[in-house]
Amino acid sequence: MDYLKIGSREFRSRLIVGSGKYKSLEETADATKASGAEIITVAIRRMNIGQSRTEPNILEYIDPNQYTLLPNTAGCYDAASAVRTCLLAQELLDGHNFVKLEVIGDKKTLFPDVRETIIAAEELLKRNFEVLAYTTDDPIIAKNLEVIGCAAVMPLASPIGSGLGIQNEYTIKTIVENAQVPIIIDAGLGTASDASQAMEFGCDAVLVNSAIAKSKQPILMAEAMAAATRAGRLAYLAGRMEKKYNAEPSSPNEGKID
Instruction: Indicate which residues carry an active-site annotation.
Output: 100
Contact (CB, 8 A) for 214 and 191? no
Quote the CA–CA distance of 229 and 227 in Å, as a whole number.
6
Q: Report the candidate in 180, 109, 196, 190 with the shortest Cα–Cα distance to residue 147.
A: 180
d(CA 18, CA 251) in angstroms, rounded, equals 47
Output phi, psi for 255, to 5 deg: 85, 0
Q: Is 18 within 8 Å of 58 (Cβ atoms)?
A: no
* Residues 232 and 200 sit within 8 Å (Cβ to Cβ): yes
Q: How many CA atoms lie within 13 A of 71 on its CB side?
A: 30
Q: How many CB atoms lie within 10 A of CB 251?
A: 5
C-alpha 35/C-alpha 30 separation (Å) is: 9
Query: Cβ-count burial of 126 within 10 angstroms (0-12 exposed, 13-18 middle, 19+ buried)?
Result: exposed
